[in-house]
Amino acid sequence: MSAKATVELIPRKILFDNPDRAMPRLSPDGQQLAYLAPRAGVLNVWVGPADHPDQAQPVTQDTGRGIRIFFWAYTNRHILYLQDQKGDENWRVYSVNLANSAIKDLTPLEGVRAEIQEVSRKFPLEILIRLNDRDPQLHDVYRVNIEHGHRELLMQNQENFFGFTTDEEYKIRLGMRFAPDGDSELLRRTPQGLWEPFTQIPYEDSLTTWPIGFDLSGEYLYMVDSRSRDTAALVSVHLQSGEQAVIAEDPKADISDVMIHPTQKRVQAVAATYDRQRWQILDNAIQGDLSYLRTLADGDLEVVSRSLDDRRWIIAYLMDNGPTRYYLYEREQRPARFLFSSRKALEKLPLAKMHPVVIRARDGLNLVSYLTLPVGADPHQTTRPQRPLPMVLFVHGGPWARDNWGYHPYHQWLSNRGYAVLSVNFRGSIGFGKRFINAGNREWGAKMHDDLLDAVNWAIAEKIADPSKIAIMGGSYGGYATLVGLTLTPDLFACGVDIVGPSSLVTLLNSIPPYWAPMITIFTTRVGDHRTDEGRKFLESRSPLTYVGRIQKPLLIGQGANDPRVKQSESDQIVEAMQTKKIPVTYVLFPDEGHGFAKPENNMAFNAIAEAFLYRCLQGERYEPIGDDFKGASVTVLAGAKEIPGLEESLKKQQSSQSVST
């Protein structure tokens, strides 16, 4: 029996609209709770009593793309948050005084990117901020008062550092920079304000080794470190002697999370994530807590917030077939009280399970992957459908990122429409040791793509995927992989959906944001060197734009006009090349978006188009028509509207609605 006949169709709005509530955070004194929730359809920060979260009220007033980054100041009466303009990633830092609801822009600088460096309990009214106001390529460190905004320069970045490590006393202790050969250098600041070498991080360890902070004495540095091993361990380093001790490690995966006591600064537990997250408990003081908390719910457990006295925790349970569930945990009495879930509407819906699978690449690498099948397609629970299905290969971005087990709105959406969905941690993905990351060096469009092909061939051989109905889809690097799939392997995929993906590696590297310049070595050594004739030829050989004439299958492209990472020109140029060769393409542009679609209205609008596109290309069983999903969106279709069912009609309806409203 088909999924169409047995499982209700889940509306896109439920899957892709704003969460009901997300990111709950306790105030340092444990008395208040802040979280993100919609206000007039836009995510804002709400604050209320921790014991009565339903009494929370909004304290911010964003009306655009929504707030996604916020935290408490140690005053217990200020909320700090970051926001950019229409996706340009020039973040500003704002302070909200909860006593009078006043909002203060702490970094009122046009075209400047602010980054939070340190927030210390010892200086409740001040924070450290990095700003590239002097030089767009380099961030200097400032000490900023969160009430009146007074800014004091602590250090001018003259050493080409891309990052700093500071302590609770607001002392700048370490700086990190790349050497021309790709190695990383960690330098120590002397009492006189000079810089001296502290340690060298070889090129092969540069993406898996970094400092994370200090112990309470300030004499020991905690680091994630892969030197002299494959998977990155958590280590402590004595700053004077350089003596190093391993705190915890995992033979299969890098350390991915660390629990550190909020005031005593001792490591209490660490997690490593191979296929699923696994915690190692190092401090007996929390052994009983975590043992108890594991009995409350299934899913991967996270301690997402702690009061300074450590009596109250906020616990999150991450599920694959349901929303994240949040609890308030009183450690002394040991009840854990359910607060809310991230999306209540999901709780009774027929969501699919996500299955970790390990696929062997042609050269023997293990590719940790995640497979989701439509509900009802696997009645015997063998992780194999009764018959081969249309499949969407959903490729993650980065590429120095990874896919994880858990609730994934795209997996749920596409599987609900009758597709198998497969996500693959191809070589170059993080979390699986340095050999796995380094196996992706200079392999964009080559062995990294081979890994995706090997996963597709596995799905075909296992009778999961119908070989004539496979789509490739993804954002950023996943968008690039989509373009590679349709140009370098044009016979394999039935269609592709590219979201903010680069089409030329040469133009991509020539147009990186200025503040990425100190890290350019990552790209020139791991992707290719756009600064030399030989390097440009190599990069052109790995660029989909070079092979645009090979495209045979339908392509949908989505782009944000303000994207600072993958400029609009990356999509413009491949669309223009396809049109010159009279190759059909549908090109969707959002003038108020950046690197991805943050506004739910825009995200739903693009996914509505993508759903109709996939339905036509893969001859799907069912789809939800575009309907009213353009309402409130800035969607603009620059090419190929006629290629997608219902798109021209929906655009006319949107234009008519806009005309009436004006």
Catalytically annotated residues: 476, 563, 595
Q: Which stretch of DSSP H or E encloses residue 259?
A: strand 255-260
Q: DSSP string of 541-571?
A: HT-GGGGGGG--S-EEEEEETT-SSS-HHHH
Cα separation values, 549 from 55, 126, 241, 321, 583, Å: 59, 57, 60, 41, 8
Cα radius of gyration rounded to whole Å, the chain: 25
Say how far apart CA 257 and CA 161 lie, in whole Å: 25
Please provide residue 570's backbone torsions phi and psi, each rounded to the nearest 5 degrees: -65, -40
| Three-class secondary structure of residue 537 per DSSP | helix
Say how far apart CA 316 and CA 293 lie, in whole Å: 10
The pair of three-digit structure tokens given for residue 108, joined into one six-digit string: 């009122």
Say how far apart CA 521 and CA 622 lie, in whole Å: 47
Where b means 16+ CB within 10 Å and e means fewer, 299-324 reads: bbbbbebbbbebebbbbbbbbbbbbb
Residue given tokens 């296929």 in the structure block = 275
Q: Which stretch of DSSP H or E encloses residue 525?
A: helix 520-526
The pair of three-digit structure tokens given for residue 116, joined into one six-digit string: 């939070």
27: left (phi over 0), alpha (psi -120 to 50) or beta: beta
| Three-class secondary structure of residue 285 per DSSP | helix
Say how far apart CA 652 and CA 659 lie, in whole Å: 10
| Three-class secondary structure of residue 14 per DSSP | helix
442: left (phi over 0), alpha (psi -120 to 50) or beta: left
Q: Mapped to the 3 state alphabet, what secondary structure does 388-402 carry?
A: CEEEEEEECCCCCCC
Please provide residue 633's backbone torsions phi and psi, each rounded to the nearest 5 degrees: -95, 155
Using CA of residue 590, residue 592, residue 595, residue 597, what is the dihedral sign? negative
> Residue 85 is which amino acid?
Q
